[in-house]
């Protein structure tokens, strides 16, 4: 009895003989069109002569498909070409999946994204907890070499003492909103908060001028005005800010009443108050206005989704960028989350020109809404990159907007304004949009657990983007040429450099890429960034001297407009470049696997020039670390030069500038101390070793004297602080007598490297204790 389901013995002899005599079918070589119509096909590809004569655009050849195709299946009443394509696609997917399983089986561990779980959790004694992700500078710093982290923490503890003194002197705080919780309530029970706001506002005539000046397009200081419609804002001011009847001695009138629009849309008032904050109050916002802004920000009812809410939140974000910038954007998280969720609820991610069509009198111009969406995308990108978290606006929202807008614009050629907005490839807005379209997917991949980002390829793409979109790098690193570049172009370039340095750091830290090429690129990008930051600051200072001389009066305490703008553009880039530079050089200069690196007369030598007119570095040589340090020092000398006391004085008005100056000063002090003690120890041991190993059987005295120590630190090996056996080429034997001599030489070099390392750290630690024992660090905050 056969088992159930078995086909064994179920084929009859007649059926078997019939199968044996079945003819083999010939493969179909003609295209589908000629085959179906029984036309002669010359089988030319991609299109045969017959189809070309008939005016067809393509040919379909069944031999392209791996699936076996029967004549009836292909040439029936309903051809299944689409089905065949689907089968082909499914077979390819199955094949790829099987390959993936085979790869997983061959490797003990599956391929995982190494960045997705790379983070740092900051735990304060107060109970505050903040998680920083893979792209955050704090995450990089916390996972770097322990010696440098300890050094940084000790220095920062000293700097914090002087920082707190500066903050107390200038009555500066990062928590103006929290301070309101401890303040009194409204002074008078007979007036509400809107009535009290009227008492601290400029006169009606002055307020009208402030709004008009805010939209002045000749200067770039109020670039954020492009997210608003000027005509609409002026109309909102006229209808919401009502003048009083009494005339002041100068003939002007006070604002007597604030009147919200229908449906209690207080955000129209909020937008105009934020214009006053940006262009009139600066960082000294009256307390009653601050309270009103906090209340507006915190409203959570469904009745708040007006276009003006998104504009209000964006203006508040920009005001913080100008006057309360923070290196990692930590204080922007909640605000940007509100901004992004509001934008999605308003439908700004959709086709703006379609869903807001014929509503300009309510929402403003289409250009202002499109600009608003770009600014929101940028704010989301900045917070994501600098804090290290997923983008709040998902890729689907951003991509849908781009595709739909481009499609609708290509069909609506009668709209001249939209054509101007989207079709000028050389505008700074166009550069920014193309950068965001390029960079957002790169950032998304960092947090995708199923992805494996190719950061090396991303770096190449970003470098090519800089070459294609911007002026030559020399325009930014040359203080004579940078004035020819738009400030908004500098804004986009700093975004690219910030992302580029982030990817370089992740490759260096996580993948432990220690090759000469990557190390050169890291130093090159950092030095270019330094030069760009310094030149931008100096340029903005000169523009303020020309256009805003009133801000240089002794009784003015506000940062001048262009200088504030320079912080918006460079605030993210500077901390990443300066901290990365110090950590990199500190790590390299405190390795001792190869013995000597610094020659006794390095300070007397002429340091070789290095080309900072490009992001690309030569492959045939490495940048000398001492050269890099000298270039760094020369760049920052522009801040400390005796002729720049007025610049330093202006920078001293800003907490962020003061911290940047202090950080650069302490980093330079650390590196100078490392170089000093390493050179001192090496010089002593060099002389001793030359005396001991100067015999004719091992070393030639002339070779030792004529071949000075290589100061370039080329090809340093990174071994997490451990000393390896010597590969040093410093004390190279001129004649090898025997293998025992070679072995003895290697042992001497290894022992020498360990001895130099021990003596260096002894001398360095003593010097460090002396530095830490200084009574104060006021010199780090000297801006006069």
pLDDT at residue number 511:
75
267 vs 185, more confident: 267
Confidence of residue 533 (pLDDT cuts 50, 70, 90): very high
Question: Can you tell me the mean pLDDT for 638-644?
Answer: 69
Mean pLDDT for the chain overall: 75
pLDDT bracket for residue 115 (50, 70, 90): confident
Which one, of 28, 115, 36, lies nearest residue 77 by Cα?
A: 36
CA angle 120, 122, 125 (to 5 degrees): 160
| Model confidence at 25: pLDDT above 70 | no
Distance set, CA 516 to CA 279, 523, 618, 620, 712 (Å): 49, 11, 10, 10, 12
> What's the maximum distance between 2 C-alpha atoms anywhere in the chain?
120
| Dist CA 562 CA 219 (whole Å) | 9
- Out of 490-494, 511-515, 525-529, 548-552, least confident range: 511-515
Yes or no: say if 283 and 225 are a contact pair by the CB < 8 Å rule: no
Q: For residue range 149-170, what is the model confidence (pLDDT) as tens digits? A: 676 677 677 667 667 777 777 7
d(CA 275, CA 315): 8
Q: Are the beta carbons of 629 and 675 closer than 8 angstroms? A: yes
Average pLDDT over residues 544-549: 93
pLDDT at 475 over 60: yes
State residue 451's pLDDT score: 83
Over residues 679-705, the pLDDT tens digits come to: 777 777 767 766 766 654 443 333 333
Low-confidence winner among 201-205, 380-384, 598-602, 620-624 (lowest mean pLDDT)? 598-602
380-423 pLDDT per residue, tens: 999 999 999 999 998 888 754 443 344 333 333 333 333 333 34
* pLDDT digits 0-9 by tens, 53-71: 777 777 877 665 545 555 5
Give the DSSP H/E element, type plus range, for residue 3: none
Report pLDDT digits (tens) over 365-375.
Answer: 999 999 999 99
**pLDDT at position 707 over 50:** no
Q: What is the pLDDT of residues 187-244, one digit of tens each?
A: 555 578 899 999 999 999 999 999 999 998 677 788 999 999 999 999 999 999 999 9
pLDDT reading at 765 higher than 70: no
Using alpha carbons, select from 416, 405, 418 the residue that is nearest to residue 366.
Answer: 418
Q: For residues 715 and 63, what is the distance between their CA atoms, to the nearest angstrom?
A: 55
């Amino acid at each position: 009895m056969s088992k159930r389901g078995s086909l064994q013995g179920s084929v009859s002899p007649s059926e078997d003989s019939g199968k044996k005599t079945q003819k083999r079918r010939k493969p179909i070589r003609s295209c589908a069109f000629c085959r179906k119509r029984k036309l002669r096909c010359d089988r030319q590809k991609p299109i045969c002569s017959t189809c070309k004569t008939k005016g067809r655009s393509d040919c379909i050849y069944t031999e392209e498909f791996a699936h076996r195709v029967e004549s009836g299946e292909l040439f029936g009443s309903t051809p299944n070409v689409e089905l065949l394509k689907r089968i082909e696609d499914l077979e390819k997917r199955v094949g790829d999946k099987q390959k993936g399983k085979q790869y997983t089986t061959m490797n003990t561990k599956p391929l995982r994204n190494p960045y997705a779980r790379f983070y740092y959790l900051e735990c304060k004694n107060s109970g505050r907890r903040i998680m920083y992700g893979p792209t955050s500078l704090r995450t990089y710093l916390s996972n770097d070499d322990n010696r440098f982290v300890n050094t940084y923490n000790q220095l920062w503890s000293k700097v914090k003492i002087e920082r707190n003194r500066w903050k107390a002197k200038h009555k500066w705080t990062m928590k103006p909103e929290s301070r309101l919780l401890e303040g009194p309530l409204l002074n008078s029970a007979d007036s509400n908060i809107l009535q009290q706001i009227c008492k601290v506002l400029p006169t009606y005539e002055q307020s009208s001028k402030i709004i008009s000046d805010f939209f002045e397009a000749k200067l770039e200081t109020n670039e954020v005005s492009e997210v608003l419609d000027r005509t609409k804002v002026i109309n909102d001011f006229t209808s919401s800010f009502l003048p009083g009847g009494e005339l002041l001695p100068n003939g002007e009138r006070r604002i007597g009443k604030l009147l919200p629009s229908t449906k209690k849309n207080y955000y129209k008032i909020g937008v105009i108050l934020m214009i006053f904050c940006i262009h009139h109050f600066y960082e000294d916002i009256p307390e009653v206005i601050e309270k009103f802004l906090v209340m507006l920000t915190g409203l959570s009812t469904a009745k708040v989704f007006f276009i003006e809410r998104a504009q209000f939140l964006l203006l508040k974000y920009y005001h913080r960028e100008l006057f309360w910038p923070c290196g990692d954007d930590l204080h922007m998280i909640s605000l940007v989350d509100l901004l992004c969720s509001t934008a999605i609820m308003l439908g700004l991610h959709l086709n703006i020109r379609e869903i807001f069509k014929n509503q300009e009198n309510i929402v403003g111009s289409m250009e202002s809404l499109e600009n608003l969406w770009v600014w929101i995308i940028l704010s989301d990108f900045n917070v994501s990159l600098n804090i290290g978290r997923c983008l709040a606006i998902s890729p689907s929202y951003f991509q849908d907007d781009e595709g739909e807008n481009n499609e609708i614009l290509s069909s609506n050629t009668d709209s001249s304004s939209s054509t101007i907005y989207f079709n000028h490839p050389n505008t700074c807005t166009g550069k920014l949009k193309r950068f965001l379209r390029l960079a957002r997917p790169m950032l998304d991949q960092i947090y995708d657990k199923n992805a494996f980002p190719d950061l090396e390829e991303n770096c190449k793409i970003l470098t090519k983007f800089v070459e294609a979109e911007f002026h030559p790098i020399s325009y930014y690193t040359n203080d004579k040429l940078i004035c020819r570049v738009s400030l908004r172009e500098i804004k986009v370039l700093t975004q690219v450099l910030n992302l580029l340095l982030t990817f370089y750091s992740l490759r260096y830290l996580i993948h432990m890429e220690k090759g000469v090429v990557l190390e050169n690129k890291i130093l090159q990008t950092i030095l270019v960034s330094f030069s760009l930051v310094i030149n931008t600051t100096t340029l903005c200072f000169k523009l303020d001297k020309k256009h805003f001389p009133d801000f240089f009066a002794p009784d003015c305490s506000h940062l001048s407009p262009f200088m504030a703008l320079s912080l918006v553009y460079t605030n993210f880039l500077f901390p990443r470049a300066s901290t990365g530079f110090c950590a990199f050089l500190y790590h390299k200069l405190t390795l001792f696997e190869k013995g000597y690196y610094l020659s006794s007369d390095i300070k007397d030598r002429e340091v070789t020039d290095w080309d900072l007119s490009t992001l690309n570095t030569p492959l045939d040589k490495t940048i000398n670390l001492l050269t890099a340090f000298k270039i760094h020092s020369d760049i920052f000398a522009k801040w400390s030069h005796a002729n720049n006391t007025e610049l330093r004085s202006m920078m001293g008005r800003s907490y962020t500038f003061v911290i940047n100056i202090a950080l650069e000063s302490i980093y330079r002090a650390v590196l100078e101390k490392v170089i000093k003690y390493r050179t001192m120890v090496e010089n002593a041991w060099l002389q001793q070793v030359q005396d001991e190993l100067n015999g004719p059987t091992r070393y030639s005295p002339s070779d030792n004297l004529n071949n000075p120590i290589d100061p370039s630190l080329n090809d340093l090996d990174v071994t997490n602080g451990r000393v390896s056996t010597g590969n040093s080429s410093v004390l190279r034997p001129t004649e090898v007598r025997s293998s025992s001599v070679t072995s003895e030489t290697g042992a001497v070099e290894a022992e020498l490297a360990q001895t130099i390392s021990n003596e260096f750290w002894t001398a360095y630690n003593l010097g460090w204790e002396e530095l830490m024992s200084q009574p104060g660090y006021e010199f780090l905050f000297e801006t006069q």
